[in-house]
Chain A
Amino acid sequence: MEVLSGFYLWLVFGLLFVYFIVLSWLGKKGAVHSKTMEGFATAKGKVNPWIVGASFAATYASANLFIGVPGLAYQYGTAVLWYTLGCFGASWIGLLLFAKTFWKYGQKFGGVYTLPEWLGKRYNSKTLQVLVALLILFNVYYIVGQNVGLATIFESILGIPYFWGIIIGVSITILYIGLGGAYAQMTTDGIQGILMAATSILVLVSLFWTIGGGFNVFGVLSERLAAIDPNLIAPLSNGGPYNSVMAIMAVQFLLFSFVLMPHLLSKVLSIKTEKDLKPFTLSAGITLFIISTLMVLGGLAARALVPNLQNADQAIPVYLTEAFPPILVAFMIVGIISAILSSTDGLYLGVTTSIGNDIYKVAAPYLHRGKQLTEQVIDRKAVKVSKIALVFVGLASLYISFDRPESLAVLIQFSFSAIISGVIAPITLGYIWKKADGPGAVAGMLTGTFLYVLFMNFKFVENMFVAMFISSVVSFIVMGIVSSITNKQVETKVNTVSKVS
């Protein structure tokens, strides 16, 4: 289905061309800052904290929020609003509570560039650092979700075949991240965030003419949805991921802990002074509010306007063409593509810096045994490894993307739930419990991840959010028990040694 043609189609191509030139230029500008791992992974202190905050929100909001979640709203109705409520509410409160302590620990440990490194230093455990870096590879599925979102937009609006849509998206992102690292990622996110916010606000405003009813626009929308199916306006959906109170609670828990995702926490590490945390967290809150709570309304309105779409993920592209003149649609499409690219670049950066910083750097003393390499040389090599990994991760995501998933949102939510199940206990207990130690953290991380994968693979627990919640709770318990036992053993050893001496 191609919804733009002639002049407007060329306008979108033109805008995208200019947009990609600007991205690549910023990438080249960022190359100055990305020669060391600190510059490549965090660009610490190089970007204004207000822009870092907007970048946090832009990275947070991806194809999931701009296409997948409106698609779910199209399918299941207003129950999906619980999800977007949590995207702003639970996640922003989570950021406010976690950011300061996380940043302070990062300063205390000195030179922390990634979440695995933060955990490795907190628990003095290289094993944990490498395991969490491996766990982050789950993000490849998150990237696949973004590729699929991009290809869906290209396909449904521009008529570009799915296959080529993915190839174009992957190539562009790899190019500018490979060149400019975190600096390019955050500055481009600033621009992308503005486009995303404008698109979201326009979708909200458009309800006044697509649905009508003046100030009672939401009342009219409810009536029209109820006329199609009364379940569409129920607080709990009939089927789907938001079908029980337990599922809704688990979703809020997931979104509260979502800020622990490595590609988001790295933004906190790029803040240089404690004073800058204040504008950073406020800017993240404002941008997150605008870009995460409004697009979903487009999915609901699409159901009222075009109730018989074959693929729910097409709800937003179709709604835009119903609601706006083609010239505006052209600009908004670039806004949606921004949403996708701004997350994809953050995800690539998170995965590849983990490979360079947390796997290669840890393995370097064994790999270059016998050679006396200085820290600077290893650091430069790690940046090179990260950039090479970028190409391989891109190719892997490309390969997996060719097999189109049934639901984009479900694929994305599966990947981040797996990561959170593994890292939530080590991070949280690392903050609040002095006795939390390395063996406990490793045990907790492995338990959370394996349980989640087990639940999902063998369908022991049908709802993925509930699966994540249970895995996380068990992970906390296991970590608590193992840490207590290993702490006791250490105490006994110390007592025995002091008695002997």
Chain B
Amino acid sequence: MFLTYWGLLGFVWVVGIILWNKIYSKVEKEG
């Protein structure tokens, strides 16, 4: 169970960073 736990946490990091980069790197020009 512990192996699954750490493995899934690592997986979330990968997915999270990809999403974060995709969503938050683009900034619309204000005004």
- Interface assignment of A282: CB less than 8 Å from any CB of chain B: yes
- 1/0 per residue A52-84: CB within 8 Å of B? 000000000000000000000000001101000
> A278 and B24 in contact (CB under 8 A), knowing A78-B2, A85-B5, A93-B12?
yes
* Closest Cβ–Cβ distance, residue B11 to chain A (whole Å): 8
Residue of A nearest to B15 (CB): A93
| B12 close to A89 (CB less than 8 A) | yes
A293 CA to B28 CA in the complex, in Å?
34
CA gap between A275 and B27 in the complex, in Å:
6
* A267 vs chain B, min Cβ distance (A): 15
CB-based contact B12/A218 at 8 Å? no
A316 at the interface (CB under 8 A from B): no
- Min CB–CB distance A283 → chain B (angstroms): 11
The docked-state distance in angstroms from the alpha carbon of A218 to that of B24 is 36
Q: Is A88 a contact partner of B9 (Cβ separation < 8 A)?
A: yes
Complex: how many Å from CA A275 to CA B13?
A: 22
Q: Indicate which residue in A78, A88, A221, A281 contacts B12 across the interface (CB closer than 8 Å).
A: A88
Interfacial residues of chain A within 213-232, with CB under 8 A of chain B in the complex: 218-219, 221-222
The docked-state distance in angstroms from the alpha carbon of A221 to that of B1 is 11
For A, the interface residue count at a CB cutoff of 8 angstroms equals 28
| Residue on A nearest B24 in the bound complex, by CB | A278
B1 touches A92 (CB 8 A): no
For residue A90, give the distance in angstroms from its CB to the closest CB of chain B.
8
Q: Which of A85-104 contact B (CB under 8 A)?
A: 85, 88-89, 92-93, 96-97, 100
With A85-B5, A93-B15, A222-B1 as known contacts, state yes or no: A285 contacts B27, CB within 8 Å.
no
User: Which residues of B lie under 8 Å from residue A436 when comparing CB positions?
Assistant: none
Residues of B within 8 A of A93 (CB): 12, 15-16, 19
B19-A81 in contact (CB<8A): no
Q: How far is the CA of A273 from the CA of B31 in the complex (A)?
A: 12
Alpha-carbon separation in the docked complex, A58 to B26 (Å): 27
CB distance B2 to A285 under 8 Å?
no
Q: Which chain B positions have C-beta within 8 A of A222?
A: 1-2
In-complex Cβ contact of B23 among A100, A233, A273 (8 A): A100
Q: Cβ of A81 and Cβ of B27 under 8 Å apart?
A: no
B interface footprint on A194-237 (CB within 8 Å = 1, 0 otherwise): 00000000000000000000000011011000000000011100
Known: A85-B9, A274-B27. A96 touches B16 (CB 8 A): yes
Interface of chain B, helix or strand or loop or mixed? helix
Q: Is the interface of A mostly helix, strand, loop or mixed?
A: helix
Question: A182 at interface (Cβ–Cβ under 8 A)?
Answer: no
Given A89-B8, A92-B12, A100 contacting B1 (CB threshold 8 A):
no
Chain A neighbourhood of B1, CB < 8 A: 78-79, 81, 222, 233-235
Closest approach, in angstroms, between the C-beta of A296 and any C-beta of chain B?
9
Kindly supply a per-residue 1/0 record for chain A positions 269-288, scoring 1 wherever the CB is within 8 Å of any chain B CB and 0 otherwise. Answer: 00001110110011001000
- CB contact under 8 A between A274 and B25, given known A78-B1, A93-B16, A233-B1: no
Q: Which of B1, B15, B16, B28 has its CB near the most chain A CB atoms (within 10 A)? A: B1
Those of A354-374 within 8 Å (CB) of chain B: none
With A273-B30, A274-B28, A275-B27: A85-B8 Cβ-Cβ less than 8 Å:
yes
- Interfacial chain A residues near B19, Cβ < 8 Å: 93, 96-97
**Cβ contacts under 8 Å, B9 to chain A:** 85, 88-89, 289, 293
The chain B residue with its CB closest to the CB of A84 is B5
Q: Do A96 and B20 have beta carbons less than 8 Å apart?
A: yes
Chain A residues near B5 (CB-CB < 8 A): 78, 81, 85
Residues of B within 8 A of A289 (CB): 9, 13
Task: Tell me the smallest distance from the CB of A49 to a CB of chain B, in Å.
Answer: 11
Chain B residue nearest in CB terms to A296: B5
Q: A247 vs B30: C-alpha distance in the bound complex, in angstroms? A: 44
Q: 1/0 contact trace for A376-402 toward B, CB 8 Å? A: 000000000000000000000000000
CA separation between A252 and B15, bound complex, in Å?
16
Q: Is the CB of B24 within 8 A of A277?
A: yes
| Bound form: Cα–Cα A120–B3 in Å | 45
- A96's contact among B2, B23, B25, by CB below 8 Å, is which? B23
A221-B2 in contact (CB<8A): yes
With a CB–CB cut-off of 8 A, which chain B residues contact A274? Answer: 27-28, 30
Min Cβ gap B10→A in Å is: 10
* Selected A-B contacts with CB under 8 Å, 12 pairs: A78-B1, A78-B2, A81-B2, A85-B8, A96-B16, A96-B19, A96-B23, A97-B23, A100-B24, A274-B27, A275-B27, A281-B24
Chain B contacts to A: CB under 8 angstroms? 1-5, 8-9, 12-13, 15-16, 19-20, 23-25, 27-28, 30
Nearest 9 pairs of A and B residues by beta carbon? A89-B12, A218-B2, A78-B1, A278-B24, A81-B5, A96-B19, A274-B27, A275-B27, A92-B16
